[in-house]
Amino acid sequence: MSTHVISLVSIGAHPTSGRPRRAEQDARAVELGLQLAGDNLQVLHAGDAAERALRAYLGMGLAQLHVLEQTPGSDALPALADYLRGAGAQVVLTGSQAETGEGSGMLPFLLAESLGWPLVVGLAEVESIEGGAALVLQALPRGQRRRLKVKLPFLATVDNAAPKPRQSAYGPARRGLLATEAVPLTADALLASATLQPAKPRPKRLKVIKAKSGADRMKAATAKASGGGGQLLKNLSPQEGAQAILKLLIEEGVVR
């Protein structure tokens, strides 16, 4: 019995020119879906079917891309949740964050909560699916991996740890079918009252590495952080836990 996999895709933006394109992480979700389900993969988009960038996903070898028609300013969450409830999917894959629009990265979390499904963040590989559960690898910092057993159905986000997407070919992109479906529209009240602006990278605290050779600097940069003077606190009351957090924030200079 084949696994029913759905990959959710959105419209991306080129980091330099800002021109519409396939979203990098969503393309990785499609690539992972193709490796799991092959030609049985279903790709789903909530938005405008007239957006030409959608055909870049069809160029990855898809015969069809399903579009839930949405107008600008609509909230895609209710439409996606209603569709997935009746789709019978066992695995739903998506990028971790959109390249256009709000770009908050909250959609996978809100969607999983609405469906009542488990959510795997940073999916790198699906090793096996059997007995109503999947064995997956989750990407952790510094190239580490963690093996998880997840009950079906589940939703997973992928990032740069997932397989690199194949190139989009012009012929399949032209021949592929965009199948549209009219769905009820829900206005996004938060987006209507918000002001969008480009995101700025957060400043990172730099650690001064004193090393004489390049090998020593590389070793220091890739070494795991040591515990040192940390404390493991267990079975604390809410008041004691809050006091410990406040003490740490004061020591780090976050709270004065």
Adjacent-strand bridge partners of 178: 65
Asked if residue 250 is part of any domain, the answer here is: no
Asked if residue 227 is part of any domain, the answer here is: no
Q: How many CA atoms lie within 13 A of 201 on its CB side?
A: 3
Asked if residue 253 is part of any domain, the answer here is: no
The CATH number of the domain where 161 resides is what? 3.40.50.620
Report how many domains make up the chain: 1
- 3-class SS string, 180-197: EEECCCCECHHHHHCCCC
Reference 186, options 79, 69, 82; nearest CA is 79
Structure tokens at 173: 């992109």
Q: Which pTM value belongs to this model?
A: 0.76
Q: Check whether 174 has a pLDDT greater than 90.
A: yes
Cα separation of 134 and 145, whole Å?
16
Q: 220-251: per-residue pLDDT in tens?
A: 766 655 555 567 778 888 888 888 888 888 88
Chain centroid to Cα 147, Å, comes to 18
Q: What is the residue whose two structure tokens read 């001064």?
A: 208
Q: 18-74: per-residue pLDDT in tens?
A: 899 999 999 999 999 999 999 999 999 999 999 999 999 999 999 999 999 999 889
Give the SS3 label for residue 200.
coil
